Amino acid sequence: MKEFELINRYFKGRGITRRDVNLGIGDDCALVTVPENCQLAVTTDTLVSGVHFFDDISPRALGHRVLAVNLSDLAAMGAEPTWVSVALTLPNIDVEWLEEFTEGMHEIAEYFNVQIIGGDTTQGPLSITICAKGTIPQGTALRRSGAKVGDWIYVTGPLGDAGLAIEARKQGFDVAPEHLRYINQRFDYPTPRVAAGQVLRGAASAAIDISDGLMADLGHILAMSQVSAHINVDKVPTSDAMRDTLNKTQQLPFILNYGDDYELLFTVPDDNKSMLELKLRQYGVEASCIGQIKSGEGQIELMLDGEKLEYQETGFEHFSKEPV
């Protein structure tokens, strides 16, 4: 199959058509219009076979996942996802694989009203890079740098499920069948918290999506905001699957470090707390208050069962195992 045929068959004319796309797939560039008084938010994420996903991942899940992790970054800024470019490097043309993969991608794109406006297909070891774009009213973006002493710390959804799914496969944990389905779904089909991000605009002081783990991503907010944090580990939301599979101590690396959950972590000034909690309930967004911002230089104080928890572990670093 030729490149043009591949693009025509799996990308062009499929998925949604947005009015603000003036020229889609098929020319040297796509042309789009950013609404007046809006900024453009841009993010890029790559998934590499054997590094970010198992070789036996369902292609449909992979198509979903690669778009989801990018939309999650837009969500963390409070942006409305609009357009994505897809760079697909494939070892060979497998029609069945491509059909499933693009189906997974188109499904989530349609759900979030996102149009695939272009990309590139190349031959090589399997890897996918997406550049996702979104729009956001001027000056309302949620940055990592806005957390202030006294702000409350929140997370959406339960943490650790994606890690549990990975380790269950790797280590052969004894997980009940209904829980296994749930955690695999959580890992394979992560839900970017797009609605939550938009609800947070004008109310949260800082936000980030949890891709590298709670400790690591909270660390980014603390570093950029020049503050410290106090976290009640008991308050970190976990799923039934997590609680039924692992005891509290075993859960710690999953809920504190594993990442890949793509939930949002955000801080809220005390003055906005009640208003925001009301708004979150109105929009059906589940979020838990897990701690508070303190003065300091990036320290994270963990409390468990009313006692200070001594705990050391780092987040997922792509190159951390590499000698320099």
Residues between 239 and 268 with contacts to its own copies, criterion CB under 8 A: none
When the beta carbons of 207 and 290 are compared against its own copies, the nearer one is: 207
Residues 106-165 close enough to bind its own copies by CB under 8 A: 117-125, 127, 129, 131, 133-134, 136, 138, 141, 143-145
Mapping DSSP onto H, E and C, the string for 106-154 reads: HHHHHHCCCEEEEEEEEECCCEEEEEEEEEEECCCCCCCCCCCCCCEEE
Give the x/- contact pattern for its own copies in 77-116, rule: CB under 8 A: x-x---x-xxx-x--xx-x---------------------
The region of 19-27, 162-170, 248-256, 267-275 touching its own copies under the rule CB under 8 A is 19-27
DSSP string, 243-274: HHHS-HHHHHHIIIII-----EEEEE-GGGHH
74 binds its own copies (CB under 8 A): yes
When the beta carbons of 135 and 251 are compared against its own copies, the nearer one is: 135
Count of other CB atoms within 10 angstroms of residue 6: 18
**Within a 13 Å sphere around the CA of 45, how many CA atoms are in the beta-carbon half?**
17
| Nearest of 27, 14, 198 to residue 115 by alpha carbon | 14
When the beta carbons of 39 and 185 are compared against its own copies, the nearer one is: 39
CB of 128 to its own copies, least distance (A): 9
In contact, 219 and 300? CB cutoff 8 Å? yes
31 binds its own copies (CB under 8 A): yes
How far apart CA 241 and CA 254 sit, in angstroms, is 12
How far apart CA 293 and CA 205 sit, in angstroms, is 11
CB of 127 to its own copies, least distance (A): 6
Q: Can you tell me which of 12, 14, 16, 49 binds its own copies, judged by CB under 8 A?
A: 49
224 binds its own copies (CB under 8 A): yes
40 binds its own copies (CB under 8 A): yes
313 binds its own copies (CB under 8 A): no
When the beta carbons of 76 and 155 are compared against its own copies, the nearer one is: 76
How far CA 86 is from CA of 5, 211, 269, in Å, comes to 16, 20, 38
33 binds its own copies (CB under 8 A): yes
Q: List Cβ neighbours of 97 (8 Å cut-off, separation of 6 or more).
A: 59
28 binds its own copies (CB under 8 A): yes
